Amino acid sequence: MARDLSGRGHQVIFYSGAQFEERVQATGVGFRAFPESVDFDFRDLDTHFPERAALPPGRARAAFELKEIAIKSIPSHVRRLQEILAAFPADVLISEQTFFAPLAAVRAASREVRPRLVTLGIFSPMFQSVDTAPHGAAAAPMPGPDGVMRNVALNAEARRNFAEIQAVANAAFTSAGSHLDGYLFDTVLRHSDYYLQLTVPGFEYPRSDAPSHFRFIGAIPPALGAATYELPPWWPELSQQRPVVALTQGTFANADFTELLAPAIRGLADLDVLVVAATAREDGPEMLRQAVGETPDNVRVAGFVPFDRLLPLSDVLVTNGGYGGVQVALQYGVPIVAAGAGEDKPEVGARVEWSGVGMNLRTGTPRSSEVREAVRTIVGDSRYRSRAQALRKEFGEYQPFDAIAAVVEAG
């Protein structure tokens, strides 16, 4: 996004963790680092927060991360953003739905001088709706009056369960010279000038009560790796007759390959498929070999593999269900086996099942037999690929960079 907006002639400052400075500056835009006190390395959060390590992936860990990382850092980020905006009076702040400091900064400024706030939905929507169960329930829509009654009751229960975190958020906004006027995630929606969801309607539950500034814009295309990626010797095998199964645990929850990659490899070892395990880390191949032992003959292991090269040759993606990775797969019409826990992964898996583009294993630690049967089902049932191809066509109808530029230039 930064590269595209800069290419359109806009001045862009990118505010992020210091570890991303080199990558950001390579796009040609300005960079400002987080304050050191809240610049947490997402690759090693347990060092910053030792108590996190004792929490298994799921709701308890997600609540801890939301409170300790996303919310308590708000005052420090707001002060830094105010310093940046004093020297660089931006017209627009573009952020994502769980980075709350821009919302707090905008709420602390007068409407006459504040920048417009554009929120990007990089996860499934977290604001509540009469048409959906609350985020975290991982429950598909239920039609009719019974569904509305269920949703109203579950949403009220979710707000009650969120009360402790809401109180921490209220205090953080107040400490930053700002204020919240309602449920945290609803406030993000209500006070954004635009809320741009990075998917298409075919993958998201309908919400009749969503405001007009909530819009679908498709998904950001994957970074093109064709120019720089050196193809491994086994790459021509991907174009042979047997189905190709891509495996990934994403770029965040990939510290323990015994959760998904290892059982998936064992489960697929004697199927007539070619398995590509993309570990998304330099030491990933060796880590995976330690987790699996002897690598089966039909498995190819890699560190970083550009998905714009791999997915067009794949028949199934087995994934822990990161929102962005699933959107990329659907841009290429690849059906999905989702096996995720933590963050918003159960919500993504529920949408994979609801939209018909794949199977949801409802666990982040599936058995080998579960992965095996899911892959066999998807390879053998053309309805999954047909539905994924239909979403591929839907994604093709959206131009996300143009949509972002349009709201930036709206004035």
Q: What is the mean pLDDT of each run of 10 residues along the chain (411 residues)?
A: 96 96 94 96 86 85 92 97 96 96 93 90 97 96 96 98 97 96 96 98 98 97 71 92 93 83 96 94 88 92 90 97 94 97 90 98 96 98 98 98 96 73
CB atoms within 10 A of CB 26: 9
Q: What is the pLDDT of residues 295-319, one digit of tens each?
A: 999 999 998 888 999 999 999 999 9
Of 131, 123, 139, whose CA–CA distance to 185 is shortest? 123
pLDDT at 320: 94
- 264: which strand partners? none
The Cα–Cα gap between 175 and 72 comes to 10
Determine if the pTM surpasses 0.85: yes
Closest C-alpha to 381, from 311, 329, 315 = 315
d(CA 191, CA 124): 18
pLDDT at residue 226 in the model: 55
Q: Is 21 exposed, middle or buried (0-12, 13-18, 19+ CB in 10 A)?
A: middle
121, 195 Cβ separation under 8 angstroms: yes
Structure tokens at 10: 């806009």
Cβ-contact 345, 362 below 8 angstroms: no
Q: How far is CA 291 from CA 31, 134, 165, 261, 273, in A?
A: 39, 36, 37, 9, 21
DSSP label at residue 311: G
Cα dihedral 80/86/92/93 (nearest 10): 0
Q: Please state, in angstroms and rounded to a whole number, the distance separating the CA atoms of residues 214 and 124.
A: 13
The residue among 324, 320, 284 whose CA lies nearest residue 304 is 284
Residue 160 tokens, joined: 């009650």
